[in-house]
A and B are shown apart, each in its own frame.
Chain A
Amino acid sequence: MEDQMKSLLRQLVRRIPIRFLKVTLEKWGRLTVAQQQNIDFTQTKWALADELIAYSEENRLTLRHITELEMIYVIDNPNQGMWHAFQLVDPESDAPAVELMQFKEQFKSHLNELVRNVSVKMKKNTDEAVWIRIAWGDSCSRPNNMRPTYVVHYLQTPYVFVTRLTSKQKTLLSQAMIIATRHQAIKDAHLSGRNFSAIRDLLMQEYEQVFPAKYPSALVERNQIAALPNIEREQAEAEVNRLQMACEAFGGGKLPQLQSVVYKLETKFKDPSNQTFTEREKPFNCVVTFTSKNLLESLRHCASSGIASTPITPLLSSIPRRGRNYFVITDKVSGPSSQINPTV
């Protein structure tokens, strides 16, 4: 236990950039004020870790305290590693009544039933999110605190966000999760990315969505058009129209910073100039990936500036509308056009 504590603390000091370390330690509040003031943040990380280990021993801190420090850091800086979204489905009638204490108890006890050696720590953030840190072990090994899984869930919502999870752990987590939240199943939401808040905002609808306005075409825009010479009038109207359509498809204002979207094509190859491929019976499989600093903003710009045609194809508008960034596209059985199929 002692060794685990030391190595976890050492790992943490290595991971946390110096500029965040001071704030994180202050938030943690397990060191005395004098100890905090004594820390020399200019020394090497190795020496810094030694100093913190010494203080922790002096204050008789345990492994749980160090995991607490890790949680504080991860909650404040969640954009490390891939986050995957899952969706709980088929809620039981008492699902909306689940509250934090009950959830905590149920989740821990069910996970403990499934795996003997597992250590779970939960913390509720100020924005009502429940952060769960799981250190997994198995029947013969102690929980490995060096590679914990992080799970974020907002109670009463169907969404679960997970990072650092192996497929074996996924089954265990899913079971504990559906029992604790009173649902019947959980499925992959086909949304993943490095930016945690982007994924969360997209699914929780925490961004400005634009709807066909109650009062069509804003007065300001109309006045602007009237002020321009006649020749530009039609173009400007089209531009306003495109912008409206782009915003309706992708949202207005600042958009969640989604960084990639993947389309897996399982469609027949169609090109009149390439007979060999077009005549093949089997679908032509390929993967198309779009990446950008802010993909939704890029797509919105493409549509509003006329690079992408409007009305916007469901292939693109499905990203925010259905909150996912992984699609499998197959040929419709009856028609030639492609469709988006949800796949697991």
Chain B
Amino acid sequence: MNKQQVDIFPTKQGDGRPLNMEPAKGVLSHLSALEVRARSRQVQPRQRSRVEELRARAEALTVQRDRLKAEIHAHKGIEKHKTRLNNRGAAAAEEEMETEDNENEQLLHLIARVMDLKQLLYAHHIIGGYDITKTRRGKGICVTLSTAYEGVYLETYNMELDVGPTLKISRHNVPPFIPLGELCEPAGRQKDLRGFLDPLLTRLNAFAGRRQQLRLVKELHPSVTVMESNMLCSILVILLSTPREKTTLLCTLNYTDHTRCLPTGVHFDCEDKKLLESSKWKNNRKLLMETPVHKALGAMKNMDCIG
């Protein structure tokens, strides 16, 4: 027993002497000795690699700890600068003294300032603010309208306005299928900038959202064929195939409300009329009405309704 335990350890294992030195013992003991030897041979490399693995892991963790420590340090610095920025008046002189000493500190100070401004800008967008630049010494303004869908920034549109007795668009890069005149004229006459920009931004956002959905349909669902669409993305005709019934369906989505990303009407065409009356496809229609088309198609695929 003692012998076996010793054999497990790699230091005594290599020579193999214990076996050959005791020929007097029986076959069974010989076999058990062989077994032990075989087993320990397997264990040995595994153990070695395990140790190495652990060592590497420890090293990686140390590196990570150091990095996090540095990050915490930097963050603390930034926070310090931020609070200092906020109640600047009192500590202004002292702060300047300090920052000049240290280039690193100065960098931290700048980072803090950038973060602060970014947050302000974000807050400004959240409350529905517009980015406006004065042009021509106050005679005009330039408005930036950025569109986004599902947290992704999409196209940015710009508009230059004349600020006279009425608001007039002097130039813009809004696509021609957005009825600018119709949307902006009434509010422009009353010089109501918000009333001028809000409906336009809603339209642009909805358009950008619909276009992004179309892009995602093409990207995520290669088995779905887009048969028809238009520039305004107000109509979408797609060809779906059903794996179970082995038939194809033509699905028409109408987006008559141009201020929304969801369709106002969904229509299926199929030779198999019974299929369309099934509760499954009635549900699918509801799904397409209520969820963005690329997501609805994903859900339909998961339910095995489409191929």
Task: Tell me the chain B residues, 228-246 only, with Cβ under 8 Å from chain A.
Answer: 228-232, 234-235
Q: Which 8 interchain pairs have the tightest Cβ spacing?
A: A211-B158, A156-B177, A157-B176, A209-B173, A212-B142, A156-B232, A212-B135, A157-B177
Closest residue to B234 on the A side, CB-wise? A96
The answer to whether the Cβ of A203 comes within 8 Å of any Cβ in the partner chain is yes
- Note all chain B residues with C-beta closer than 8 A to A78: none
Q: Which residues of chain B are within 8 angstroms of A128 by Cβ–Cβ distance?
A: 229-231
Contact of B186 with A by CB under 8 A: no
| CB-nearest residue of chain A to B171 | A321
Contact indicator per residue, chain B 158-186, by CB within 8 Å of chain A (1) or not (0): 10100000000011111111010010000
The smallest beta-carbon distance between A320 and chain B, in angstroms, is 8
> What is the CA–CA distance of A216 and B142 in the complex, to the nearest angstrom?
12
Q: Which of B159-215 contact A (CB under 8 A)?
A: 160, 170-177, 179, 182
Whether a CB of chain A sits under 8 angstroms from the CB of B223 is: no
| B258 contacts A by Cβ under 8 Å | yes
Residue of B nearest to A210 (CB): B158
Quick one: CB contact mask for A146-163 with B, threshold 8 Å, 1 for yes? 000000001111110000
A205 within 8 A of B: yes
User: Which B100-150 residues have C-beta < 8 A from chain A?
Assistant: 131, 133, 135, 142, 144
Nearest CB in chain B: distance from A95 CB, A: 9
* B256 on the A face (CB < 8 A): yes
- The chain B residue sitting closest to A101, CB to CB, is B228
Q: Tell me how many residues of B have a C-beta within 8 Å of chain A.
A: 26
Question: Which chain A positions have C-beta within 8 A of B174?
Answer: 205
Chain A 189-209, CB within 8 Å of chain B: the 1/0 string?
Answer: 000000000000001110001
Answer whether residue A213 sits at the interface, using C-beta atoms and an 8 A cutoff: yes
Collect the chain A residues with CB atoms within 8 Å of residue B173's CB.
205, 209, 211
Report whether A158 and B234 are in contact in the complex, using a CB–CB cutoff of 8 Å: no
A28 to B32 alpha-carbon distance, docked (Å): 83
Is A214 in contact with chain B by the CB < 8 A criterion?
Answer: yes
A97 proximal to B (CB < 8 A): yes
On chain A, which size bracket covers the interface?
20 to 34
* Contact of A137 with B by CB under 8 A: no
Instruction: Give the distance in Å from the alpha carbon of A96 to the alpha carbon of B160 in the complex.
Output: 25
**Do B170 and A155 touch across chains, with their CB atoms under 8 A apart?**
no
Chain A residue contacts of B179, Cβ below 8 A: 91, 96
Q: How far is the CB of B164 from chain A (nearest CB, A)?
A: 16
Q: Is the CB of B176 within 8 A of A209?
A: no
**Most A CB atoms within 10 A — which of B158, B170, B229, B258?**
B158
Partner pick for A157 among B131, B144, B229, B231, CB 8 A cutoff? B231
A39 within 8 A of B: no
Contact of B160 among A91, A156, A158, A211 (CB under 8 A): A211
Residue of A nearest to B158 (CB): A211
B230 touches A156 (CB 8 A): yes
* Chain B neighbourhood of A113, CB < 8 A: none
Are A158 and B230 in contact (CB-based, < 8 A)?
Answer: no
Which chain B residues border A205 with CB–CB below 8 Å? Answer: 172-176
- B219-230 Cβ-contact flags toward A at 8 Å (1 or 0): 000000000111
| B176 to A: closest C-beta gap in Å | 4
Q: How far is the CA of A99 from the CA of B229 in the complex (A)?
A: 9
Q: A114 at the A/B interface (Cβ < 8 Å)?
A: no
Can you list 20 A-B contacts (CB < 8 A)? A96-B232, A96-B258, A99-B228, A100-B228, A128-B230, A154-B176, A154-B177, A156-B177, A156-B230, A156-B231, A156-B232, A156-B234, A157-B231, A204-B176, A205-B174, A209-B158, A211-B142, A211-B160, A212-B142, A212-B160
Given contacts A155-B231, A157-B175, 8 further A-B contacts (CB under 8 A): A96-B179, A96-B234, A97-B234, A155-B230, A156-B177, A157-B177, A203-B176, A321-B170
Cα–Cα, bound, A212→B131 (Å): 12
Q: Which residue of B lies closest to A209 (CB)?
A: B173
Distance to closest chain A CB from B169 (angstroms)? 11
Contacts of A216 in B (CB 8 A): 133
